Amino acid sequence: MTGGDGSVPPGEDGPGGEGAPPAVDGSASDVDGPVLLFDGVCNLCNGVVQFVIERDPAGTINFAPLQSAAGRRLLDRVGRDPGALDTVVLVEGGTAYTKSAAAIRVARHLGGVYRLAVLGRLAPRPIRDAVYDFVADNRYDWFGRREQCMVPTPELRDRFLDRN
């Protein structure tokens, strides 16, 4: 059983690991590897995407704004409300990871010292997600917002699902 935000209740893990709902199917992504869905008008979220890009030179993680057609299609395929913009979503292997579980999985993909973020799993998910929600609820006030989603540079365009 999943929670209203697509997460698995504490203590119940989907096939993808801690905090993951059950996989929907293997066709949840049109690309190989994980896709990070982010709020495309949020300055904090865009900063996080730039942070990940700089630390993932192999291009393991792909991206799409939650507001994009590709982002909405992918959310729909993994059983999440395409209109909900309250969390970052990492879609990997047909499973959607949200909030702190998504952040921890992204850090694992980055490798190196960032893998230490998995220690965050020692804290109960409700506590981790409460911290995540506090930042998410204040992100526009603290970091501002853009009028439109970011447009990737030509060098990065292949890492974004909406390539126009």
Rounded Cα–Cα distance for residues 84 and 118 (Å):
26
Cα torsion 66, 67, 73, 79: sign? positive
Comparison of pLDDT for 33 and 103, the residue scoring more? 103
pLDDT of residue 2: 41
Q: What pTM value is reported for the model? A: 0.77
pLDDT of residue 31: 61
All structural domains of the chain with their residue ranges: 35-151
**Does position 41 have pLDDT exceeding 60, yes or no?**
yes
**Does position 86 have pLDDT exceeding 90, yes or no?**
no
Distance in angstroms between the alpha carbons of the first and the last residue of the chain:
37
Residue range 13-42: mean pLDDT, rounded: 58
**Does position 8 have pLDDT exceeding 50, yes or no?**
no
pLDDT of residue 123: 93
Rounded Cα–Cα distance for residues 52 and 161 (Å):
16
Residue range 100-104: mean pLDDT, rounded: 94
Q: Which among 109, 113, 118 has a CA at the least distance from the CA of 57?
A: 109
